[in-house]
Chain A
Amino acid sequence: MADRKPRIDEKLARVAFNIDREAHITVAKESCPGCPGRPCLSACPAENYTWNDENDALVFNYEGCMECGTCRFICPLDAISWSYPRGGFGVAYRWG
């Protein structure tokens, strides 16, 4: 049994990425402080959406995106504009 919950970066360290310079997903973050439930924080399996309490603002990190597509359908305020990275970039599963 796991003694503690592994951190997400330990898991993502096992995934290969070919990171593009430009973000393929963008968030209109001004909506986020008033968002009910902020489901992106819990739903993204890569924990790419986090909340910065000090600035009361969303932090989004596209580099660890596994391109599952959950956040495309999750945002109650339609603040997430979702697309794939450019061809050849992004996640590259070795097993899948």
Chain B
Amino acid sequence: MDRVECVVVGAGPTGSACAIGLARKGIETVLVERGSQAGEKNVASFVLFANVLKTIIPGFADEAPLERIGSDTGFLCLRKDDMMEFRAKAGVYYENPMIYTAYRSRFDRWFASKAEEEGVEVVRGMLVTDVLTEGGRVVGIKVGEDELLADVVVAADGIHSIVARQSGLYEDDTSRYMLGVKEVLDLPPDVIEDRFGLRPGEAAVKDGWGYPMSDVGGLFTIYTNNDSVSICLFAPVDALKAKGVSLRDRLEDFKAHPYVSSLIKESRLREYEAHILADGGRIKTDRLYSGGVLLCGEAGGFNSTMWIGVPSGMLSGLKAADAVAAAKRLGRYDADALSCYVDYLYETGLPRMLYNARTFSDFMVKSARRHMETFTDNLFDFMTESILEEVNFFEPEPYPSLEKAYGMFSDYVPRWLEPPLRLLVRGVSKLGSWYKKRKIRRTV
């Protein structure tokens, strides 16, 4: 039976980053990928935050297959016939880019080829079907009938991780799973720049919520590539199950929204895609390792609804490589030797990200998903009515903006606190009105 020092399962961004880290530490590494090419199974919206990639390949910008520079970011809020957008166009990020749009199929393939250049053996078209164990410790992998022994197996095989499941480390929590359904739509570069108001080579990076997803607590993204627009709709798997919602139908409703359709009209479908992701933080850090095995990337729950799964996956992969190197120095690969993985993770911002992802998704599950529709309505009313009230010259009283603002958030206040808080807000608002009237008399 063949034997290597380390097997990394899955040539997504996590697996390739980990393999590069291992190779640079002189650890003999095999990277196994089920696709006949790295990337052909993978889907993202896809914005790449390049901070981690930059530490691995400083010159990536000149050789990686990247599309546009994401210096025009926006948050959209949609209702059936309405749209609202908060948008930032940053000069500094256009000059010194940190965010890019790209295609996963091309990016992952390139990144795996970088691992190969570092001396990693990349095996494509092989599905890892099980792990080999001995005395409760992982000692290798199975690929159908074939077996490969390894000192350490790194699970970088994504959300459906076979390695994590078979090593007994996996914790399924479907309440944190979302389905993403995506279309890549062809449009000429000049039309894209015109419609989205972009500088040459600049990408629009728009995330948003509301129509047609508010009843299921879904989200959406609109990103531009060089000659295409990627649109993606996300919804919690539990909501799809409970409400019988069809994301493929919702995608058509989304495309027919007046604002969205003004951006993508006359485009042609290039590719249709779908993939599940997890909100992140579902696995506790002490469950990220055990004898002979480490979990990283999406297989270890490193993701969040902020679309930072790729850089966080890469960094967890690098830390896993550090842990393997440390275990090698000790000459043993049991759980105790590999536990430094968690220490290394705590030297980074990843645990903080996991915590935020977890609390944010709890918030989404418990509160925002229930109240998203009312919140959206209130926000729209606030925006439109405050303008109308400003020009309502027939009304001498200052308008109660504090009460209006409170109305937007009142759904999130615990029920018992609601009556006293409402009274307080009304009181402060009245006082504010009185003070403002006085000020108006004295100033004008």
Contacts and interface: CB of A to CB of B under 8 A. Distances in A.
A-B interaction: yes
Interface of A: 1-2, 5-6, 8, 10-12, 14-15, 18, 37-39, 41-43, 45-47, 66-70, 72-74, 76, 84-88, 90-96
Given A8-B248, A42-B244, A96 B43 contact: yes
Contacts of B143: 87
Given A45-B181, A68-B275, A37 B244 contact: yes
Contacts, number: 144
Given A39-B240, A96-B39, A69 B34 contact: no
15 contacts: A1-B261, A42-B244, A45-B179, A66-B275, A68-B275, A70-B276, A73-B177, A74-B240, A84-B127, A87-B125, A87-B127, A91-B40, A93-B39, A94-B40, A96-B43
Interface string B34-45: 111101111110
A29 B265 CA distance: 41
- Which of A39, A87, A93 lies at the interface centre, i.e. has the most chain B CB atoms within 10 A of its CB? A93
Contacts of B274: 45-46, 66, 68, 70
Shortest Cβ-Cβ A-B pairs, 10 listed = A88-B125, A96-B104, A96-B105, A87-B127, A68-B274, A45-B274, A42-B246, A11-B272, A87-B126, A92-B40
Given A76-B241, A87-B125, A5 B252 contact: yes
Contacts of B103: 95-96
A84 B160 contact: yes
Given A72-B160, A84-B127, A95-B271, A42 B240 contact: yes
Interface string B15-49: 00000000000000000001111011111101000
Nearest to A40: B241
Contact of A93 (B127, B248, B273, B276): B273
Q: Which of B43, B174, B255 has the most CB of A within 10 A?
A: B43
Contacts of A18: 36
B337 interface: no
Nearest to A86: B127
B256 A1 contact: yes
Contacts of B237: 43, 70, 73-74
A11 B103 CA distance: 18
B41 A67 contact: yes
Given A87-B143, A95-B103, 18 more contacts: A2-B255, A37-B244, A42-B249, A45-B181, A47-B248, A68-B43, A73-B276, A84-B127, A88-B34, A90-B41, A91-B40, A93-B271, A94-B271, A95-B105, A96-B43, A96-B104, A96-B105, A96-B271
